[in-house]
Structure 1
Amino acid sequence: MNRNFQKDIDLGLSAKNKTLPSKYFYDEIGDALFVEIMNMPEYYLTNAEFDIFKNQNQELIKALKLEKNTFFELVELGAGDGTKTKQLLKTLNDQNYNFKYVPIDISENALNQLKKSITKELPTVQIHPKQGDYFNVLSGLQTSNHPIIVLFLGSNIGNLTDERANDFIQKLDYNLKKEDKVLLGVDLIKPKSVVLPAYNDAQGITKRFNLNLLTRINKELNANFDVNTFDHQPEYNEEEGVARSYLVSTKDQKVLVKGLDKTFTFQKGEKIHMETSRKYNDLILNGILAGSSLKIIDRLTDSQHLFADYILEKY
């Protein structure tokens, strides 16, 4: 049994305002569902960032100050299926840049699939996948004499509260050397009419993605969640610039989690907070970077200005 999973689920369901960590969405079923989400017409985030990687990869290379005669390590946090990153890898490879690609992900399944696809599509690219916690892996790279470029794409940082995002940036800063860089993908603040459908698609894929975590708890912690008694409820506050996803109990019920030796009570209408998705602008991001040595040196947006890839450098 995964002790961290056990502990985190216990803490989340025992809280006054129940919550479940979004990092546990990604088992084998969750990985497949998220690929479906990225291909949904409503989910603009993937297409918008893909637009940048496909059509502005030379601009990305210039903004990152990459040089062909200097070996560097391209480290991606939460690499997933690598669809966007492959656009950059191909260009770097075709233009004879000297580098290795180090994808880091909590999902071993995702890394295995990624390594297979990179080996097939870009066989001359050096790939060294590492499974585990971002910072445990990054700390192992601290002794590297080579420049490190960290990719943190897909607005994954938006899943953190501002306080936790600032903490994340401090840890990232600590694990990097002077002149190392970060390519940080963030979703920009925009109207509710654009944002909300991305988390509430017509096909119900996002709902299945969220409910799959209850199924995972049933399987791994021997629980008896009835997923049919929970609804998916996304919310977006345009003024605040934060989208939140909840599962809501449709009735009064009790759920036994044998792996925790506990029973949890849910009232009708009670929410489980599943995920936060913060939207950004320059002001908000500079607040997140406060106290770190990471500074914004460039910013690229897609053709519709929905999404931005910020280039940060450690000073």
Structure 2
Amino acid sequence: MKETVVLNKKESQKSTLEQFKKEVNDGLNESLKTLPSKFFYDKKGDALFVEIMHLPEYYVTRSEHEIFKDKSASIIKALALDQDTYFELIELGAGDGMKTKELLQELSRENYKFDYIPVDISQNALEKLEKDLNQKMPHIAVKTKQGDYFEVLESLKENQHPKVILFLGSNIGNMPDDVAEVFIANLSENLNFGDKFFLGVDLIKPAAIVLPAYNDSKGVTAAFNLNLLERINRELDADFEIENFKHQPEYDEKQGIATSFLVSTKEQDVFIKKINKIFHFAKGEKILTEISRKYNDKILDKILKKTAFVIKDRITDRKKYFANYVLEHL
């Protein structure tokens, strides 16, 4: 049986708009202006990101998909799941679920007892995913949840069912390390003994591999980044002139941190009507829109230090561009 658990639609839209206004206002008032990457994902942003995932330069999705496609049986073995025990498979930031479908098929084929609970901030993405799963895997129980990761964490302890949390696509890398530490610590506090956390991370690599993934030759990533300004124009009645901003990715190979910026190409003022404020941009001034941290074992160990999670296994693609870690709550 299929089930969708969402807020009342009007309340949800109002809540999201108020949150959008607040975070845009807060971010553009900082000394280094920022805009939260989670707001990339409106209907247009979802479509652009799906296109990005299929670009030849964007190794991230392809590498992790290889792990799920070729090693789903190994994933299930590493998670040490009991075929006779019901569990909840909860995916944070599910998107289109492309990789997870490989795992769902294998779990179903082996007759595991579970519900799949995809969580995403984009209701559009959840509706498309549920419809697709209804058509292709009607025997799998799907319960979607729309919301922010942090909001969903609070509800995890409501039942005592065993849980497997999926956090894929190196989404953890969109958080600064201190925020990632708090996020995983909160997740740890809301899980029970024996629960599993399957974490996908992009591994540290040379700039020659990383930078093109964030600056593709077709300009899709640039359009994805700039769409954030278009969304502010659409939803907050702003007057950003998109042609006066450019997409600029950077990568610090030593630290393993990629960043994406929108750069003002001229001195200009932007009025955001629903915030009722003018924001000034100097020529060359940057807006930080995304952080994409790359990992190794040492960095991950530090982030996990204050949690109850223990690394049980590590599965990589053939090129060792990407790794999925099996963590257990002890």
Q: Above 0.5 in TM-score?
A: yes
Which residue number corresponds to residue 140 of structure 1? 155
Shift of 1:196: 0.3
SS in structure 2 of the partner of residue 16 of structure 1: coil
The aligned amino acid for 2:298 is L
- Mapped pair 1:278 → 2:278: no
Does structure 1 retain, via aligned residues, the 8 Å contact 2:35–2:287?
Answer: yes
- The runs of 5 or more residues in structure 2 that have no matched partner are 1-13
Q: Deviations over 1:76-127 (max 9, x none)?
A: 0000000000000001011111101000000000000000001111110000
Alpha-carbon RMSD across the aligned residues, in angstroms, is: 0.8
- Mapped pair 1:246 → 2:258: no
Which residue number corresponds to residue 151 of structure 1? 166
Find runs of 4+ consecutive structure 1 residues off by over 4 angstroms.
none
Which residue number corresponds to residue 195 of structure 2? 180
Which residue number corresponds to residue 204 of structure 2? 189
Which residue number corresponds to residue 218 of structure 1? 233
Which residue number corresponds to residue 78 of structure 1? 93
Which residue number corresponds to residue 39 of structure 1? 54
Shift of 1:144: 1.9
The aligned amino acid for 2:254 is E
Which residue number corresponds to residue 302 of structure 1? 317
The aligned amino acid for 1:102 is I
Which residue number corresponds to residue 20 of structure 1? 35
The aligned amino acid for 1:194 is I
Of the three residues 138, 147, 151, the one matched with 1:123 is: 138
Which residue number corresponds to residue 219 of structure 2? 204
Q: Deviations over 1:222-266 (max 9, x none)?
A: 100011110100000100100000010111111011111100111
The aligned amino acid for 1:18 is K
2 CA distance for matches of 1:250 and 1:143?
A: 50
Shift of 1:219: 0.9
Shift of 1:51: 0.5
SS in structure 2 of the partner of residue 128 of structure 1: strand
The aligned amino acid for 1:75 is I
Shift of 1:132: 0.8
Which residue number corresponds to residue 24 of structure 2? 9
Which residue number corresponds to residue 260 of structure 1? 275
The aligned amino acid for 1:246 is F
The aligned amino acid for 1:309 is N
Does structure 2 retain, via aligned residues, the 8 Å contact 1:135–1:175?
Answer: no
Calculate percent identity across the aligned residue pairs: 55
User: Where do residues 82-97 of structure 1 align in structure 2 (5 Å cutoff)?
Assistant: 82-97=97-112
Does structure 1 retain, via aligned residues, the 8 Å contact 2:250–2:259?
Answer: yes
2 CA distance for matches of 1:139 and 1:264?
A: 35
- Mapped pair 1:66 → 2:81: yes
SS in structure 1 of the partner of residue 33 of structure 2: coil
The aligned amino acid for 1:128 is K
- The runs of 5 or more residues in structure 1 that have no matched partner are none
The aligned amino acid for 1:279 is K
Shift of 1:288: 0.6
SS in structure 1 of the partner of residue 127 of structure 2: helix
Q: Deviations over 1:41-81 (max 9, x none)?
A: 00000010000000011110011011110101000000000
Of the three residues 303, 306, 329, the one matched with 1:288 is: 303
Shift of 1:295: 1.1
**Number of residue pairs the alignment of both structures matches:** 315
Does structure 2 retain, via aligned residues, the 8 Å contact 1:149–1:183?
Answer: yes
